[in-house]
Structure 1
């Protein structure tokens, strides 16, 4: 009986060790419905941008910064909780509920938009002729109760409604809001390079107005006498807009603006030249500092009132960037900007 008992104990030990090994492997392999956001790096804009086919060989660099967003496992979550400048977000917080494919298409559109706005703003500031052509309405979201759900898809471009074309997304919104609830409506759109026209109905939106139930924004394209070429495959999002703008402006209008300095920053760019807020700016400060940047431009806009109602101590991008720089004890100068002109003026005067 004693000999049998010892064998049972050995067998139980082997099974326990095997289960422990499987559990450990699962902790490192099995994905969880979370993402881990951490500092990524900084990349010289010249590696993805050229102007008129010429090489910008001046000393120094403009660098766009980026973060890494990786699917989480149990082991990586534990590591994230113990690592500074690392945050955990649910999959829905990151993607907004969009599929992986749709999320990638949205980010690709944001990158395309930031390039268009950067070119438009840089050439405008340089006094060059440039136009921005309206291509249609870009579909960013399709409401659950929209009759066009399953017909329209994320990243499609709506070019007309009931045979009418528009000059902006607001014009389209104004038109469909005047249609009767439940009325039939024909939408013409481009999807995967093909033009289609499909029917649906006008529905009541959450804001009480009539519409077709899509989230939208202007889809535009710029035209100028300069050949501004981007090679940003695999890079998404709008936050490189400011650095793209500075790089294009420097090459066309002021080749000595950079003055040999290694400059980094982050911020979206709008048609009027304002620099918009971005996410993960504390991590982008770390990325820039690790790359050896001397200057970091950070958006300096007021915190949204709705955010302050929830968190009265909420900081804006610039304040968060300044705090991160102090934590890592970097000599990199954090510069607040509200517009592209602010950044240009700083570089000229310092």
Structure 2
């Protein structure tokens, strides 16, 4: 009888230990998004080989993303500043290596657009060379799914080349559903062509079923160097642009302020939407920023039909400000010039 009790006790301890181990270390197909922090742009950016020693700082903010254990999921569920997302929502079906590579492509494009915009606004000679679009992923029904791979560059459609990804998308969407299409692409340094057909995309438009980002290079006599390491994604574009412009054209624009912000930067200077605006404004406030720039673009009508409660990035940020009673000025912008004008107008006398 005593032996049975001892055995039951041992089995119970082993079972409990196994459950605790699973709860603490076994990764589930869910990810947690939480406020990550803020970083001074000067730590990753050098303009014209000069040190930016003016008072104040520009800071890009980021979201921390981690694959969750059961215990972490429980903690996130109880924390209103964290979000739980499925693996598909977070990675788009990509494995961890591909997910990292995609983030790096977004960062590369963000840096090039920031260079181009910052130099242009500062009145410097600069050109932006467009080489095509990087392939980031393919839809399940794309006829190019077994042909194109992540990191391939699409350079032509039906022999036509383009000046921007917007032009490429416009051309492809004009083609008839089901019609044949020839894609020219570069893979591992070699140029190829492949035939497929036009399909209907989830947004209702015609296309070839790829997620893409611009493959560009900037040509200028002004050297601009980035050292972003493992940091990925496009959302630091606005702050990169402001930093480049300030150092070249208006060194006292910061006026000693700790300034943070988020938003992609496009070739025309517009500021694009990002994810996690609520978490990023919290990171900015915790880092001591007094100003936070955030995109304020209208919510797409298709998204509103599916989710009538969808918010703009600005609305998301303001909801967190009210919830956490943050002491920070949230400034909505749709282009980089609006951010520059705000900083100029609000400089101390």
The answer as to 2:96 corresponding to 1:100 is: yes
Q: What secondary structure sits across from 2:127 in the alignment?
A: strand
Does the 8 A contact of 2:54 with 2:256 survive in 1?
yes
* Deviation, structure 1 residue 196: 3.1
Cα deviation 1:24-71 (Å, max 9, x = unaligned)? 111001110000000111000000001011100111100000010001
Does the 8 A contact of 1:132 with 1:221 survive in 2?
yes
Does the 8 A contact of 2:236 with 2:262 survive in 1?
yes
Unaligned runs of 5+ in 2: none
Cα deviation 1:289-315 (Å, max 9, x = unaligned)? 111111111112222223333443433
TM-score of the superposed pair, with normalisation by structure 2: 0.90
- Per the alignment, residue 259 of structure 2 pairs with 263
- Per the alignment, residue 53 of structure 1 pairs with 49
The answer as to 2:164 corresponding to 1:201 is: no
In the alignment, the residues of structure 2 paired with residue 310 and residue 111 of structure 1 have an alpha-carbon distance, to the nearest angstrom, of 30
1:1-350 correspondence to structure 2 within 5 Å: 5-161=1-157, 165-169=161-165, 172=168, 174=171, 185=182, 187-192=183-188, 194-206=189-201, 212-350=208-346
Cα gap change, 1:75/1:222 in structure 2, threshold over 3 Å: closer, same or farther? same
Cα deviation 1:204-227 (Å, max 9, x = unaligned)? 444898765434343222212211
Question: Is 209-218 or 270-279 further displaced after alignment?
Answer: 209-218
In the alignment, the residues of structure 1 paired with residue 164 and residue 91 of structure 2 have an alpha-carbon distance, to the nearest angstrom, of 26
Query: What is the number of equivalent residue pairs in this alignment?
Result: 344
Unaligned runs of 5+ in 1: none
Cα gap change, 1:313/1:349 in structure 2, threshold over 3 Å: closer, same or farther? same
Q: What secondary structure sits across from 1:58 in the alignment?
A: coil
Q: What secondary structure sits across from 2:107 in the alignment?
A: helix
* Deviation, structure 1 residue 321: 1.1
Cα deviation 1:177-225 (Å, max 9, x = unaligned)? 669967584x443334x12324333354448987654343432222122
Question: Is 250-259 or 232-241 further displaced after alignment?
Answer: 232-241
In the alignment, the residues of structure 2 paired with residue 331 and residue 184 of structure 1 have an alpha-carbon distance, to the nearest angstrom, of 54
Question: Is 263-272 or 299-308 further displaced after alignment?
Answer: 299-308
Question: Is 31-40 or 147-156 further displaced after alignment?
Answer: 147-156
In the alignment, the residues of structure 1 paired with residue 308 and residue 63 of structure 2 have an alpha-carbon distance, to the nearest angstrom, of 27
In the alignment, the residues of structure 1 paired with residue 174 and residue 311 of structure 2 have an alpha-carbon distance, to the nearest angstrom, of 37
In the alignment, the residues of structure 2 paired with residue 237 and residue 215 of structure 1 have an alpha-carbon distance, to the nearest angstrom, of 14
Cα gap change, 1:289/1:133 in structure 2, threshold over 3 Å: closer, same or farther? same
Does the 8 A contact of 1:151 with 1:198 survive in 2?
no
* Deviation, structure 1 residue 265: 0.8
Q: What secondary structure sits across from 2:65 in the alignment?
A: strand
Does the 8 A contact of 1:188 with 1:195 survive in 2?
no
TM-score of the superposed pair, with normalisation by structure 1: 0.90
Higher-Rg structure is 1
Cα gap change, 1:311/1:110 in structure 2, threshold over 3 Å: closer, same or farther? same
RMSD, matched Cα: 2.4
Question: Is 65-74 or 199-208 further displaced after alignment?
Answer: 199-208
Cα deviation 1:205-253 (Å, max 9, x = unaligned)? 4489876543434322221221111111211111101100110000000
In the alignment, the residues of structure 2 paired with residue 324 and residue 180 of structure 1 have an alpha-carbon distance, to the nearest angstrom, of 43
Cα gap change, 1:331/1:22 in structure 2, threshold over 3 Å: closer, same or farther? same
* Deviation, structure 1 residue 320: 1.8
Question: Is 235-244 or 210-219 further displaced after alignment?
Answer: 210-219
* Deviation, structure 1 residue 127: 1.8
